[in-house]
Structure formats: structure tokens, C-alpha cells
Amino acid sequence: MTELEPNSPLPQVVPSDFIREIVQQDIASGRRQRIVTRFPPEPNGYLHIGHAKSICLNFGIAMETGGVCHLRMDDTNPTKEEVEYVDSILADVRWVTSGWADSVLGLKRVGETPTSAAHGLDFQIARTTASDGTPLEPFFASDYFDAIHAFAQQLIRLGKAYVCDLTPEQTEQYRGSPDRPGQNSPYRNRSVDENLDLFSQMRDGKFRDSACTLRAKIDMSSPNIWMRDPVIYRIRHAEHHHTGNRWCIYPMYDFAHCLSDYIEGITHSICTLEFEVHRPLYDWILSTLQLPRPLPHQYEFARLNLGYTVMSKRKLLQLVQEKIVTGWDDPRLPTISGIRRRGVPAASLRTFAQEIGVTKYNGLTDLSVFEFAVRSELNRTAARRMGVLHPVRVILTNIPAGEVLWVDAINNPEDPNSGTRRIPFSREILIEQEDFQENPPPKYFRLRPGGDVRLKYACIIHCDEVVKNTTGQVVEVRCTADLESRSGGANAGRKVKGTIHWVSAEHALSAEVRLYDRLFTVAEPDRGDGDFRQYLNPDSLKIIEGWVEPSLREAHPGDRFQFERVGYFAIDVRDSRSDKLVFNRTISLKDGWAKESARSP
């Protein structure tokens, strides 16, 4: 089970965008009393950060207006959908909304469905709370199959739908093309009775897959392709993850979605830009069925494009199936489960969504915006620890072997309530290879021969001697510790330019550290015709053995830390064990020195 996030203590600025303005107008004008939105993923893959944007929008509007947002599985295609995806989607939505919008997460009692057309065509199903202890589950479009089927029959009775025997290929030909009108199907003028009869034969399994379809009767010469007698029901002799073998005909997205919205009493049906051309059909279905108003309305916004990654479900599935990554929750993936495993807090996803805004402009968001949201949240909340990733041994010659000096370290300078901890300090320590240079460049102010540096929370040391092996590699640095410069000591105020992190060699814990980098080498790997896999970053994962301070022995899977001066790391929830810690690098710290040193090579 996914661990949920604590409440975010920071007050949130109420965001504003063109959709929220419409919602506010609808409330102000009295057109809507209570806002009901929905988040309607198809359970055919895992959710990604683009979905997080949509979740933040839909649940955010519900939060801000005192409404509710239904989580609904848009499951009308049995051949692509699986329960594994249903479960992961629920877990991901709970995680993103936890500590923030849990109170407006719309679920329903397990097994509850609309009571079908027995009540006429005007009925609605609403979200319930778990107050009586009944287990809850998401809404499912497939729970409305009876109702949707009744609506289809009604459409036939109104003379607005017909059963068509054209083959898939013929249907395509008859549809015409964007700049050429289509032509009427020869089956377009079947009588109501014949259509009703054929449709019931379809439902009863009298026909093979694709033998015929139910189509809306609209206008084959419409400039909008989706109004050219769109298919609204097709035959699929396939087992459905939620309805089993009860059905062999399934409604198409366009027919099921608007009606699902209607059945749930959705007020604002928010989707991405590619559905813009479907909106006339959405409206046509609801108004042709003469359903009581107010009807739900569809609004569209631009989906998220983020640099150096891919977002399409197809490509993500490909990366998983071809084992280019380790699974849907690989920390390099932009999936919500990957992002979570990597150590990104849910609050970062929310502030990110707020920063990028909601518009109809199809742009490419710079990765740095996301990275900033991650760093700023982690800076506030992550406990500081010390860890050395690429060690070099330092001997403090004036400290006797076997002596252990304990020093106090601040857990989080950004959080006064986080307290302190004790760290062992002794004769042999490990420091970062980068923090010692025999021939340092200008402006380098860490350890050098004959130079001084402060060991964070311990004392200032002076480098006396460098020991190398036969290949000239530095294997040991011998230093003298100024023990009076320890915190609280006589020389505590002594200033040196550099401060570095360290661990006591004898006490440090060995840990596996997984260093993640962007999955692709170019900002838009799926741009152009080529295979996006050619841009895979061969260095997207480096696994090393690092050394961390002993207090980490008590840490738990999922805990997030800042290794001082290095970056943010989370204990892997899948592979870490108490006797062999595994850390995922969430993100590195900003490195001002890297920038400085790159300037004058």
C-alpha cells in the first residue's frame, strides 16, 4: 500500500485560469449550485505527470468550490483494460490528493450502479462517503452499460441511430476525408423497428465482431469528421475486467463519456485539447436525447509536455515491455509511481501544476520548473544527513585510534523543530574525492595540500601529507585536526573558506546508491519521425556503493533525506533492506561550483 503524505503546512495561493473563471461565472450566475468535476482515466496504463496536472485541476476546482471530483474509470474497451491498472490508478490518485484534496475525492460504494432505465432516462448516481464503513471504489463507466444501452435504444426510437452493416474498411471509405465529404451508408434508412431488432441481436451475440455497428445519424457531409455518423456501439466478444462476460457490445468513448458525465451529475467535464473537435458530438448526443438540463459541458486545456521525457502511454508501455526500464515505477519514468519511488513529494507535483498554469497553448515546459518544485519542497522538509558517494580516506593523525568523539548535527536548518542528532567522529574518516585536489584550480576552496577546510559539525583540519599508490592515485590524505575549532570550542569561530561533509570510516554504513539522470538526451525525444529510443541516455542510471552516517540505520523505506552538499535521496521502497540500504537519488543539489569551474577550464 502506498504511504500517503502528511498535510502540507503551507497556505496555498488560490490559482486562477480560464476554466476556473468559467466555473466561477457559473456559480455567480446561479447556473450551478454545486460543482462536480471528474478525473476519467482509461485503465490501460499507469498515470503520469501529465495526469497529475489534470488531477490538480479537477480536484483543485472541487476543493476551491466546495464540490467534489469523481474518480472514474473510463473503461469501455475490454481489449485494452486491466485491473492492475485500476489499482495503480486509485493508489496514484490517492497519493497525489492525500493531505490536500482527500475530502473531495469522489468514490462510491462497492457494487453500486445506476438502477437502469427502469427509472426512466433521467437518473443520476452520486458520490458517497464511507461513513457507514462500506468499502468504496472508483466510479466505472462500465457500471453504466445498462443505462447507456437504454440511451442507445432511445436514440434509435428517435430515428437518430441505425445499425450499419458496412465493414470497417467500407466505413472508412464512406467517411470521406477532412477536405472531402462522406457519403451515406446504404443502411442509413432502416426503420426504427428493424434497427431496434438488429441492435438487440447485436447485444444478444448473434453477430461476429465487426459484423455491424450502431451509428448515430447526423450528417455525412459535416466538415467535422466526428459528426459523420460516428459509430457509437461496436461488437467485441471479449471479457471485460469489470463486467466480465455480461456484454458483447461496448459503447464508444464519445457515446459513453458524455452520458457517464450526465449520469454522475458532472457539471464541468474537463479534458485535453485533442477532444475539442469531439465537443459538438458530446453536445449533440445529450441534446438529441432531450435530457433535462442543466447538461454537463466540456472544456479543453493543453496537455503537459515536459522536456527530456516521453508522455504517451504507448511509449511508456514500450519502455516497460522492452525492459528498457525496470517497470512502470522505474524512478526514471515520468509516471506518478516512478516519481513517487524516486522520492518526489506529492506536494511538489501540486506546486508544479500550479506554476505551469492551465491554458490552450501547446508548449514545452522546461524541466527546471519541475526540478525547482522538487528542490524547494525537499529543502523545507527533508532531514539532513551526511553521505559520501566517492570516498577518499583521511587520517587525522592527532586523534588516537579507537577514540570516538561525538558531535551534534542539526537535522534541518530550515525547520527549527527538527532537532539535532549525534554523529561519531574519529581518526579515520571518508570525504568526497571531489573535495580534495592536489593541484586545485583558482577559487577552489576545499582541501588541498597545506590547506585547511572545515569538516561540517566537527572541526577544521589541515592537510599535511598526500599518500598515493603506484599509479599515482591518491589513496589517503593525512591531516591534523584543530580540535579547539569544534562547535563550542575555543576556536569555534575560526573562519575557513570551505566546509565539507564526511563520515567516520569505522562507523559508516555501506549503501547502494542509485544515481538517476534524465532518461533522454534531447528535450523532445518523440519529435520527428525517428525512433525515440535512439535518444535514450546511456547514463540515466549509475549504481555505486556509498557510505552514510550510522543514524540512517533507523530510517524506513520511502524516507527522504538531503545528503548535505550532495542531493536529495529516498530509501527505495522495493529493494532496500535494513542490512543493505538502497537510496534513490531524487535530485542533486544545485552546484554553484560546477558552474564556476566550467567557466574557466
Partner RNA sequence: UGCCCGAUGGUGUAACGGUAGCACAGCAGACUCUGGAUCUGUUUGUCAUGGUUCAAAUCCAUGUCGGGCAGCCA
Distance CA 320, CA 85 (A): 14
Residue window 14-53: x/- pattern of binding to RNA, with contact defined by CB under 7 A = --xxx--x------------------x-x-----------
Minimum CB separation from RNA for residue 46, in Å? 14
Which residue among the candidates 20, 203, 313, 448 is catalytic per the annotation? 313
- Give the integer Cα–Cα distance in Å for 385 and 409: 9
Q: Per the residue annotation, which of 303, 315, 393, 478 is the catalytic one?
A: 303
Using CB under 7 A as the binding rule, the residues of this chain from 226 to 245 that contact RNA are: 226, 230-231, 234-236
DSSP letter assigned to residue 527 = S
The interaxial angle of helices 49-65 and 83-97, nearest 10 deg, is: 50
Q: Is 389 in the site for RNA (CB under 7 A)?
A: no
Q: How far is the CB of 404 from RNA (least distance, A)?
A: 18
Quick check: is 403 catalytic?
no
Q: Cell for 317?
A: 508501455
Q: Which of 1, 417, 439, 495 binds RNA (CB under 7 A)?
A: 495
Quickly count: other Cβ atoms within 10 Å of residue 441's Cβ.
Answer: 10
- Under rule CB under 7 A, residue 419 binds RNA: no
The minimum distance between CB 265 and RNA, in angstroms, equals 19
Cell of 587: 535530485
Q: Which of 22, 121, 196, 225 binds RNA (CB under 7 A)?
A: 225
406 makes contact with RNA (CB under 7 A): no
Question: With CB under 7 A as the contact rule, which of the stretches 115-123, 132-140, 331-339, 352-360 interacts with RNA?
Answer: 352-360
Q: Which stretch binds RNA (CB under 7 A): 57-65, 93-101, 186-194, 224-232?
A: 224-232
Question: Do 297 and 244 meet the contact criterion of CB atoms below 8 Å apart?
Answer: no
d(CA 89, CA 40): 10
Decide: 300 and 272 in contact? Cβ < 8 Å.
Answer: yes
User: Applying CB under 7 A, does 167 fall inside the site for RNA?
Assistant: yes
Stretch of 45-53, 331-339, 365-373, 535-543 lying at the interface with RNA (CB under 7 A): 365-373
One-letter amino acid identity for 47? L
Q: Out of 357, 424, 550, 557, which residue is the one contacting RNA (CB under 7 A)?
A: 357
208: contact with RNA by CB under 7 A: no
SS (H, E, C) 316-333: HHHHHHCCCCCCCCCCCC
273 lines the binding site for RNA (CB under 7 A): yes
| Residue 295 CB coordination number (10 Å) | 18
Active-site residue, selected from the candidate residues 42, 428, 476, 524: 42
Q: Report, in angstroms and rounded to the nearest whole number, the Rg of the chain calculated over CA atoms.
A: 31
The reply on whether position 187 binds RNA by CB under 7 A is no
486 binds RNA (CB under 7 A): yes
Task: Give the one residue of 277, 467, 475, 544 binding RNA; rule: CB under 7 A.
Answer: 277
Euclidean distance between CA atoms 241 and 345, whole angstroms: 32
With CB under 7 A as the contact rule, the residue among 177, 191, 312, 510 that binds RNA is: 177
Distances (CA, A) of 329 to 74, 321, 338, 536: 22, 13, 4, 18
Binding letters toward RNA, positions 446-485, x by CB under 7 A:
x-------x-xxxx-------------------------x
CA–CA distance, 163 with 378 (Å, rounded to integer): 58
Coil, strand or helix: which one is 582? strand
Residues 553-582 that bind RNA (CB under 7 A): 562, 564-565
Kindly tell me which residue out of 54, 88, 142, 171 binds RNA, with binding defined by CB under 7 A: 171
Q: Can 38 be counted among the known catalytic residues?
A: no
**Residue 487 φ/ψ, nearest 5 degrees:** -50, 125
Residue 402 buriedness (CB in 10 A; 0-12 / 13-18 / 19+): exposed
Residue pair 560/568 in contact by the 8 Å Cβ criterion: yes
Q: Which is nearer to RNA, 6 or 441 (CB)?
A: 441
303 is catalytic: yes
The reply on whether position 361 binds RNA by CB under 7 A is yes
- Hey, which residues are catalytic here? 42, 303, 313
